[in-house]
């Protein structure tokens, strides 16, 4: 039996031109998104750059998460990647490319604040290729404003909804909301233990498999999500809204936060708008609704 293909042997080539497909177009000044993939996997990563040091609160749930720089209060770039633990190398690559963009300055305020989260996407493929440093660098070079590719793209290239024999290809989705001057964007990469459920309660992706006697499911599932708003929020408000949104996603993914999931939500504010007509709970409701839309847009029909 031959060894599975790996980055060291195959030398995969980053792909950033993805051709035609479903795209979320949005207006959020400063936000840029880059996607890079290894077709040889297939696997990939998705980077989000806020154009500034933005406030962040990270909510981690389920039994098998893995996040880099989870302790930070501020962030500039978030990198989502496949490849399980090995995919955290992509966030190191994103940081390296940001260092290059800053002429290799090591001044304290020039250090790129990059956080990464990963998902296990080896289930549908029979190789050991993962998003590495070069893929993370390629995603940074590919960043563009106002556009987010949806479906089996980037970090969601081999993501699935449900598990085992019931697993079906999912991917990444996004949605936009606005209330007065407040802008809200929700992004989700679905690689869930549970199924995707629409607003009528119907399962639209994945198939329930039921219990398998004598077997324990592997910890091989993760849903990654990010909400970014320009509304000013203090640390407690960020944390509260993030938790509200993350909990609400259980409407669109059932079951959610299982022991075999490693769900991670980033709640980010660029702190640009003071909107007295929109309190934090209502903002959370808008972001939660957008997140459900993002879940439903994550897979290609």
Q: Does 217 sit behind a cis peptide bond, omega within 30 degrees of 0 on the bond before it?
A: no
Q: What is the mean pLDDT of the chain?
A: 93
What are the DSSP calls for 58-114, one per residue? EEEEES---EESTT-SEEEEEEEESSGGGGHHHHHHHHHHHHHHTTT---GGGS--E
Active site residue 222: yes
Instruction: Give the separation between CA 48 and CA 46, rounded to whole angstroms.
Output: 7
Give me the pLDDT at residue 4, please: 79
Residues 64-88: what's their mean pLDDT? Answer: 89
Instruction: Give the separation between CA 134 and CA 126, rounded to whole angstroms.
Output: 22
User: Which CA distances in Å does 6 have to 63, 126, 127, 130?
Assistant: 27, 10, 7, 8
Phi, psi of 45 (to 5 degrees): -145, 155
Catalytic residue among 160, 222, 223, 270: 222
pLDDT digits over 109-158, tens only? Answer: 999 999 999 999 998 888 999 999 999 999 999 999 999 999 999 999 99
Give me the pLDDT at residue 47, please: 98
Choose the weakest-confidence range: 56-65, 108-117, 209-218: 209-218
Give me the pLDDT at residue 1, please: 52
pLDDT digits over 222-254, tens only? Answer: 999 999 999 999 999 999 999 999 999 999 999
Task: Among 3.60.70.12, 3.40.50.720, 1.25.40.10, 3.20.20.370, name the CATH number for the domain at 30-296.
Answer: 3.60.70.12
* Three-state SS at 298: coil
Residues 6 or more apart from 1 whose CB is under 8 A from it? none
Q: Specify the pTM.
A: 0.95
The dihedral formed by the CA atoms of 11, 14, 19 and 20, expressed in degrees to the nearest 10: 110
Strand 114-118, strand 67-68: pairing: antiparallel
Q: Does 255 sit behind a cis peptide bond, omega within 30 degrees of 0 on the bond before it?
A: yes
């Amino acid at each position: 039996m031959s060894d599975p293909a790996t980055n060291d042997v195959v030398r995969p080539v980053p792909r950033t031109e993805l051709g035609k497909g479903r795209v979320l177009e949005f207006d959020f000044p400063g936000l840029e998104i880059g996607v890079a993939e290894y077709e040889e996997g297939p696997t990939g990563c998705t980077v989000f750059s806020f154009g500034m040091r933005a406030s962040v609160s990270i909510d981690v749930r389920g039994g098998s998460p893995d996040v880099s720089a989870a302790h930070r209060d501020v962030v500039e770039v978030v990198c989502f990647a496949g490849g399980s633990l090995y995919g955290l190398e992509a966030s190191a690559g994103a940081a390296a490319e940001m260092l290059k963009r800053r002429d290799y300055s090591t001044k304290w305020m020039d250090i790129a604040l990059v956080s990464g989260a990963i998902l296990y996407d080896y289930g549908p493929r029979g190789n050991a290729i993962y998003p590495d440093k070069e893929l993370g660098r390629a995603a940074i070079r590919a960043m563009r404003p106002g556009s987010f590719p949806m479906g089996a793209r980037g970090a969601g290239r081999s993501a699935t909804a449900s598990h085992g024999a019931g697993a079906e290809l999912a991917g990444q989705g996004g949605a936009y909301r606005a209330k007065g001057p407040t802008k809200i964007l929700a992004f989700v990469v679905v690689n869930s233990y549970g199924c995707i459920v629409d607003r009528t309660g119907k399962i639209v992706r994945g198939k329930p498999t039921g219990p398998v006697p004598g077997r324990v499911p592997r910890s091989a599932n993760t849903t990654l999500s990010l909400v970014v708003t320009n509304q000013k929020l203090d640390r407690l408000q960020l944390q509260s809204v993030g938790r509200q949104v993350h909990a609400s996603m259980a409407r669109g993914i059932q079951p959610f936060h299982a022991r075999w999931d490693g769900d991670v939500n980033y709640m980010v504010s660029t702190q640009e708008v003071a909107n007295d007509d929109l309190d934090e709970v209502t903002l959370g409701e808008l972001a939660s609704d957008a997140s459900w839309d993002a879940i439903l847009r994550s897979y290609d029909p």
